[in-house]
Amino acid sequence: MNVNGFDAAAGALAQAVQAQRLAQRLRGLAAHGGVPTGGVARQALTHEELAARRWLAQDFAARPGYRVGIDAAANVYVRRCGVDAGAAPVMTGSHVDTQPLGGWLDGAFGVVAGLEVFDALDSLGVATRRPLDVVMWTNEEGSRFAPGLMGAVSFTDPQRLADFLPVADSAGVAFETARDQAVTDFETHAQRLGWSWMDRPLGAPVHAYVEAHIEQGPVLEAQGLQVGCVTAIQGVRWYRVSVPGRSAHAGTTPLANRDDAQAKAIAMAHAVLGHARDCGDERMRVTIGRWECLPGSINTIADHVSFTVDARHPDAQALDAVRTVMDAALPDGAHIEVLQDKPTVQFAPDLVALATAGCEALGMRHRQMLSGAFHDAMPMAGFCPTAMLFAPSIAGVSHHPAEDTPIEDLAACTQVLAWCLLKLAEPAPAST
């Protein structure tokens, strides 16, 4: 198809994206794990998440030309078959797991946007040469099983799955057990309903991956923009710091005689947060998000504290400096465990250019930008040409029940996604 022919087809597809259908499916998804007081509680591989994945797949699984599957990391796929069955698929999607109490769009938007593109393609009867896959990655958040991105990392580097299988959640349930239950649940359901099945091995070739996501930050809204074309994701390091002490009576033990794990941990936390505040770099991000203290009694000195540090910055040297501060402030006997260390990744310049061209062709107000959050696209970037599209977040709020985006902005981002996916999957004459 010539360039003008392609532009016409992609423009028509973008027009076939329906904001109302997108909103309806997002609301239906939010009901899975929806909390009456606001927000969504749908952590990785819980009953709520498995039900949500089945619910999303079922709309398409029975349509002609569709297949569903689940891989060894419990990533779920919905495939719209291409005319060239042997061609590597173009992939889109994101995650449907949430923080313990998260918002309704983080991850959910990317999956539902991909499915909306399927609906738009179906409404126009457009066939593509390459298959198109919408993927629901497993455990992006990392809040139930640490680290995050387990599904996408396992897909792109299958040997890593073995490292994740023994990881347990706070109730002692191993990722392997939850993964096995998820695979059995999806396969049984698909078999019972006669869904067309596809096997999708970890590491199977992918032509390109484009993920839509909410920005989760304030930039696009503040600048009155509709779409962000993401050029890179900043590096992230996660640590767990364990500080030992000795329990003793809170009323009788003089300060000089104490080995107070809590006091030592607080001093170290101040050092690392103080560095972030005073280093003079507004790009620095340091978060202490989890804090555990044993025995956790009001009148007993703590004999064990552990806390997490999440440090992010685009430059590795800045993250090294955080680690230097942590090492210098580490109390005697304490230790630091690295839970995750992901360097900054750059997205494929050709795909960023494609996303930008899509915004221009569709008349969207857009800019190129860095992602502050990590995403499933991070491991994918080392595996196949990868890019991301951002929709604005109201007041930049995310990982919170108030997370929101105007539906017209979600639809605009989905239109650009549709434009990019059709370009990558190539419009084809429908087979008869």
Residue from 49, 71, 97, 106 that binds Mn ion (CB under 5 A)? 106
Backbone angle region of 252, left / alpha / beta, with phi > 0 → left and psi within -120 to 50 → alpha: alpha
Are the C-beta atoms of residues 189 and 54 closer than 8 Å to each other? Answer: yes
CB 27 to ligand GLV: min, Å: 22
164 binds, among Mn ion, ligand GLV, none (CB under 5 to 8 A by kind): none
107 binds, among Mn ion, ligand GLV, none (CB under 5 to 8 A by kind): Mn ion
Residue ranges in 158-187 that form contacts with Mn ion under rule CB under 5 A? none
Give the start-end residues of each E strand in 171-327: 208-214, 227-233, 235-244, 285-287, 291-294, 304-313
Residues touching ligand GLV, count (CB under 6 A): 4
As a whole number of angstroms, the distance between CA 347 and CA 353 comes to 10
374 binds, among ligand GLV, Mn ion, none (CB under 5 to 8 A by kind): ligand GLV
DSSP reduced 3-state for 353:
helix
71 binds, among ligand GLV, Mn ion, none (CB under 5 to 8 A by kind): none
Are the C-beta atoms of residues 143 and 310 closer than 8 Å to each other? Answer: no
As a whole number of angstroms, the distance between CA 258 and CA 247 comes to 8
DSSP tally for the chain: helices H, then strands E = 13, 16
Residue from 66, 374, 390, 419 that binds ligand GLV (CB under 6 A)? 374
Residue from 74, 326, 373, 388 that binds ligand GLV (CB under 6 A)? 373
For ligand GLV, the closer CB: 39 or 148: 148
Give the start-end residues of each E strand in 75-207: 76-80, 90-95, 127-128, 132-137
For ligand GLV, the closer CB: 141 or 259: 141
For ligand GLV, the closer CB: 133 or 140: 140
As a whole number of angstroms, the distance between CA 205 and CA 207 comes to 7
Are the C-beta atoms of residues 284 and 223 closer than 8 Å to each other? Answer: no
Residues touching Mn ion, count (CB under 5 A): 2
For ligand GLV, the closer CB: 145 or 374: 374
Is 403 near ligand GLV (CB under 6 A)?
no
For ligand GLV, the closer CB: 148 or 427: 148
CB 374 to ligand GLV: min, Å: 4
375 CB neighbour count, 10 Å cutoff? 28
The pairing of beta strand 227-233 with beta strand 132-137? unpaired
Residue from 141, 376, 403, 426 that binds ligand GLV (CB under 6 A)? 141
Contact footprint for Mn ion (CB under 5 A): 106-107
Residues that bind ligand GLV (CB under 6 A): 141, 148, 373-374
